[in-house]
Chain A
Amino acid sequence: MFAVENGLQGDPRLQAISDAIRVIPHFPKTGIMFQDITTLLLDPVAFKHVVDIFVDRYKHMNISLVAGVEARGFIFGPPIALAIGAKFIPLRKPGKLPGKVISEEYELEYGNDRLEMSMEAVKSQERALVIDDLVATGGTLSASINLLERAGAEVVECACVVGLPKFKGQCKLKGKPLYVLVEPSQLEEITF
């Protein structure tokens, strides 16, 4: 579900967020129009809009855990967690987290990758939010949902700044709702 479908149609903050995201063509490989959120982070007003919209949505949902996917989920997750009084849990690439971890494999275009979470971070029945900068295939978010559910948490929603248009409507990931602020930005046309 996109923000515009849920009460924020015409909200000028969404246009500001979209405008602040830079498109880098053919990164990391040919054909991919990479949505670069680092330019959003250089715009303190637009960055604050992102956090404010998510905080307004989640502050009354009784969420005690915000899980952020390495590395760009680490940028958006903590400000939200702090504002709603929730714990922040980093979901990391293999071998980075010390202590006991649980691990979930997910598919890439070629091959697999793994995501890890500290086993001791989650108490049973906690209500969790998963955050990442962008959702494309949903593979990483699905792995995140699995990790949290295996640890006994209830995933309330997954939230991303950018999402492909296929996630409009009541689209769910592993049965969990998805909330997205904006569609991918387009490359500006160059006129001669």
Chain B
Amino acid sequence: MTILFVCYKQQPAVSQESENMTSKEDGQDPRLPKIASSIRVIPDFPKPGIMFQDITTLLLDTEAFKDTIDIFVERYKGKGISVVAGVEARGFIFGPPIALAIGAKFVPMRKPKKLPGKVFSEEYSLEYGTDKIEMHVGAVEPGERAIIIDDLIATGGTLSAAIRLLERVGVKIVECACVIELPELKGRDKLGETPLFILVTSDAA
């Protein structure tokens, strides 16, 4: 099992000639190694063969948690994003701080029967059977620009359902954002045209 760091090109905050720019050629954000190492991997949870990516240890590292949120906020601030949709339950941890910092609404996307008002509902496949994700009617308006947040993308089932749910009501999803991707499970393929932004990749098993 390895943890790799996502190398993404970040716009340098200062000019090329400045000494303050990261010296790494690949432009890797220097905050990423600490974020990656703060995530604990628990073998065989919730069942044998699964290497569970436990973000609760990231939440115990105040600097790593702050850096995680800062990276997302830097990416999405000032881009006309008015909706941050977070998938229950760990998306509820990362979404609101981002929403508050960029001045957007936070829209919880929930398991069935949790939301009290009238809802839109979208079904998605599980390994065995199906599940549903719900959002309140009236939470978003056609034409709004949204990002969808979850802690992790595995098979992409939940995120693709969230995309469909928002697109049905006329929202443009600018990007899906997760802390962790398990690339072997090819979740990215389920997202269609919607880009995916992640901080850390890991092995699924």
Residues of chain A at the chain B interface (Cβ within 8 Å): 22, 24, 27-28, 34, 36, 38, 41-44, 47-48, 51, 70-72, 74-79, 81-82, 85-90, 92, 95-99, 118, 121
A88–B115 Cα gap in the complex (Å)? 24
Q: Which residue of B lies closest to A44 (CB)?
A: B103
B105 contacts A44, CB within 8 Å? yes
Interface size class of B (residues with CB under 8 A): 35 or more
Mark each residue of chain B from 83 to 105: 1 if its CB lies under 8 Å from any CB of chain A, else 0. 00000111011111101100111
Q: List 29 A-B contacts (CB under 8 A).
A: A24-B116, A34-B116, A36-B116, A38-B108, A38-B136, A38-B139, A41-B96, A41-B105, A42-B105, A42-B139, A44-B103, A44-B104, A47-B100, A48-B100, A74-B89, A74-B93, A75-B92, A75-B96, A75-B106, A79-B96, A82-B69, A87-B61, A87-B62, A88-B59, A96-B89, A97-B56, A99-B40, A99-B45, A121-B56
A71 contacts B88, CB within 8 Å? yes
Q: Which residues of B contact A47 (CB under 8 A)?
A: 96, 99-100, 106
A42–B160 Cα gap in the complex (Å)? 23
Mark each residue of chain B from 41 to 74: 1 if its CB lies under 8 Å from any CB of chain A, else 0. 0100110000010101001111001100100000
The listed residue with most B CB atoms (<10 A of its CB), out of A81, A82, A92, A121, is A82
B107 contacts A41, CB within 8 Å? yes
Q: Which secondary structure characterizes the binding site on chain A?
A: mixed
Are A51 and B100 also in contact (CB < 8 A) when A22-B117, A82-B65 are?
A: yes
A51–B101 Cα gap in the complex (Å)? 12
A41 contacts B66, CB within 8 Å? no
Are A78 and B93 also in contact (CB < 8 A) when A28-B116, A87-B60, A90-B59 are?
A: yes
Cβ-neighbour of B60 out of A36, A41, A42, A89 (below 8 A): A89
A78 contacts B89, CB within 8 Å? no
B89 contacts A24, CB within 8 Å? no
Q: Which secondary structure characterizes the binding site on chain B?
A: mixed
Q: Which residue of A lies closest to B139 (CB)?
A: A42
How close is B52's CB to chain A, nearest CB, in angstroms?
Answer: 5
Q: Which residues of A contact B40 (CB under 8 A)?
A: 99
Cβ-neighbour of B56 out of A24, A34, A90 (below 8 A): A90
Mark each residue of chain B from 116 to 143: 1 if its CB lies under 8 Å from any CB of chain A, else 0. 1100000000000000000010010000
How close is B59's CB to chain A, nearest CB, in angstroms?
Answer: 4
Are A71 and B92 also in contact (CB < 8 A) when A38-B139, A44-B100, A47-B106 are?
A: yes
Q: Which residues of A contact B110 (CB under 8 A)?
A: 71
B116 contacts A70, CB within 8 Å? no
Q: Which residues of B contact A48 (CB under 8 A)?
A: 100
A98 contacts B93, CB within 8 Å? no
Q: Which residue of B lies closest to A93 (CB)?
A: B89
The listed residue with most A CB atoms (<10 A of its CB), out of B52, B95, B108, is B108
Q: Which residue of B lies closest to A66 (CB)?
A: B59
How close is A2's CB to chain B, nearest CB, in angstroms?
Answer: 23
Q: Which residues of B contact A74 (CB under 8 A)?
A: 89-90, 92-93
A87–B61 Cα gap in the complex (Å)? 7
A108–B187 Cα gap in the complex (Å)? 39
